[in-house]
Amino acid sequence: MRALLQRVSHASVTVDGTVIGQTGPGLLILICAMQDDTEAQADQLAAKILKLRIFKDENGKMNLSVRDIDGSALVVSQFTLAADTSRGNRPGFSAAASPEDGNRLYEYFAAQLATQGLPVETGEFGADMKVELLNDGPVTIWMEV
């Protein structure tokens, strides 16, 4: 699985003019399931994200996790994280999981974060979504398991 994490002051996702998910201070997590990904990889990624120390402590050092700051997460599916740009000018997405597997793993991943006590809201798999965010730092981290 691939994820792009952004430490945010706030973020929201809108579908058809309606905000369907949002977060205050915490993480915007753009997530993509790749071919042959499993729940075990989603578990591993969720566990790593929950422990990742990318929030500032009282001394201004990145030393706190999203749970340490009582933060939350907005999880948005983004199959374009599977883009292959090695040939030509049009990215290929054949490395992404099938839509069925992608949606299943996306929902599973978000549920795993929530099961561990992190407040989670989501986008809508496969929808044309508009994502707004205020990146804090900016801090943006690429992860892959």
- Please list the active-site residues: 78-80
* E strand map for the chain: 2-15, 18-23, 26-32, 55-56, 62-64, 72-77, 120-122, 129-144
DSSP 36: T
Q: How far apart are the C-alpha atoms of 28 and 43, rounded to whole Å?
A: 18
Quick count: other Cβ atoms within 10 Å of Cβ 136?
A: 17
8 A C-beta contact, residue 66 and residue 73: yes
β-bridge partners, 14: 19, 130
Which of 41, 48, 13, 44 has its CA nearest to residue 101? 41
